[in-house]
Amino acid sequence: MQKPSHLLIACNECGLVSAIPHMEGSSKASCPRCGHTLVRQVENSASKVQAYGTSCLVMLLLSCVFPFMSFSASGISNKISLLDALEVFHTFDNNALAAMLLITIIVLPAIYISLVMFLFHVASKSSKGREVNTPPSLLKQLSRLVFRAEIWLLVDIFLVGVIVSLVKIASLADVELGTAFWAYCAYSALVVFFSRAIDKEWLWENLFPTYTSGDVKPGDTHLSGNHIGCRVCQQINAPHHKHCQRCDSRLHPYNPAMNVGWACSFLVSAVIFYVPANLYPMMYTASLGSIERSTIMDGVVLLWNLGSYPIAAIIFIASVFVPMTKMLIMVWLLRAANSGVAEDSDALKKLKYYRFTELIGRWSMIDVFVVAILSALVNLKGLMSISPGPAAFYFALVVFFTMCAALIFDPRVFWGPLKHRDAASTSPVLHDAV
């Protein structure tokens, strides 16, 4: 197979095929039809990835080794580590939720960062013409794992959950922040910088160069029937291929009925679990022999009555407004998908709502993280203790299923064939990278 003279990329959100021109420095190319970022080029990406990645791993190690925070009241104190906070659900026999927290906060980010650093190291050797001893099949497997795992990294959301927890318990007793807390703050910031330093196209091009796209040309869409775009590496494949020529990912032909059906299934599951998530207690507070049960709304009302209006607003938005809004928007999008393609202006409007659901979905996990921190920290036997309620597990399932519904939903169902195939309508829009 031959390497093409120019890079063709099919937009994942509207289906338009565009030819990417030569790009200088740190810049990005956006789809001229819907504005979706097709390529984001990062200057000196390989060196930045290694520097930020090493810093991330060091800060993560410090976060796990040193004390995270301590809580004291009436002469009794309790000190916890980061791992204590993440494993607290295991103590209360909720192993699934404990595993989810440990994976999304510690295990998966560490694996993600390490693998990205390794892949960029191999790509750098390849770009300099040096021999690469790692089997191509292994490199492809690792690359697929890395870029599919990105969405499940909840490092930044956990930090917000910790801050909300501090505000919640500040009025109950004295809280002291440990070395690990500040290391975790640095780790969270570095993870953001690390992800922004990744130039995916440079990485793929130096690991597995793009293959020729056959008779596919700029201006074709997902309705042209002459290609299947890979969502992992963006290689354009012939329609008869079952797996991507470049990364070996399984290809999924454009099938709106199947995608809508799966999205509906995940959404229905989220709605079902949303009921017990709001009816059952999110946590139990035991103080001097009395036990108080509190649901999500009880926690919001308590914070509001204590005068913590911004934190009460954050919890309400993340735990009540966001999941409900996301489910309602997804219902509307699924109904709109069944009505067929629309004019570009109307399709773009629907696409913006879809992007909103993708953006906000992860943040609903804040309340689950708050419960984990409070349950691990406030454990003063005989005086006061907090334990998680059954709603925490159901709420985590709501977040999981709404994220799956958004991930599997194909927004290309809103877009019809491109009407004006002139140069302006098929040329990507170039911007300086932010």
> Are 63 and 193 within one domain?
yes
Name the 3-class secondary structure at 280: coil
> Are 232 and 308 within one domain?
no
- The whole-angstrom distance between residue 240's C-alpha and the CA centroid of its chain comes to 31
- The whole-angstrom distance between residue 271's C-alpha and the CA centroid of its chain comes to 21
Would you say residue 65 lies in a domain? yes
Pairing mode, strands 283-287 and 384-388: antiparallel
Which CA distances in Å does 95 have to 8, 100, 106, 155, 209?
46, 9, 16, 20, 43
> Are 27 and 174 within one domain?
no
Q: How many distinct structural domains can be found in the chain?
A: 3
> Are 57 and 191 within one domain?
yes
Would you say residue 202 lies in a domain? no
| Percent of residues in the chain assigned helix, strand, coil, to nearest 5 | 55, 15, 30
> Are 173 and 35 within one domain?
no
80 phi and psi angles, rounded to 5 deg: -130, 155
> Are 364 and 308 within one domain?
yes
How does pLDDT run along the chain (434 residues), one tens digit per residue?
Answer: 444 446 789 999 998 998 888 887 788 888 998 889 999 899 889 999 999 999 999 999 999 999 888 877 666 777 888 888 888 787 777 788 888 888 889 999 999 999 999 999 999 998 888 888 889 899 999 999 888 888 888 898 888 888 888 877 776 667 888 899 999 999 999 999 999 999 999 999 999 988 877 788 888 898 888 899 998 888 999 888 899 989 999 998 888 888 889 999 999 999 999 999 888 888 887 766 677 777 878 777 876 776 667 777 877 887 788 888 889 999 998 888 877 666 777 888 899 989 988 888 788 888 888 888 878 877 766 666 778 888 888 989 998 999 999 889 999 988 887 766 555 566 777 666 55
Cβ(199)–Cβ(41) below 8 Å: yes
Which CA distances in Å does 128 have to 122, 131, 206, 207?
10, 9, 10, 12
What domain range includes position 314? 255-416
Q: How many CB atoms lie within 10 A of CB 424?
A: 8
Report how far residue 412's alpha carbon sits from residue 351's, in angstroms, rounded to the nearest whole number.
Answer: 9
> Are 405 and 337 within one domain?
yes
- Helices and strands in the chain, H and E counts: 17, 14
Tell me which long-range contacts 416-424 makes (C-beta under 8 A, separation of at least 24). 416/223, 416/341, 416/342, 416/347, 417/221, 417/223, 417/224, 418/16, 418/33, 418/219, 418/221, 419/344, 421/219, 424/32
CATH number at residue 169: 1.20.140
Closest CA to 69 of 174, 147, 210: 174
> Are 230 and 260 within one domain?
no
> Are 64 and 164 within one domain?
yes
> Are 85 and 108 within one domain?
yes
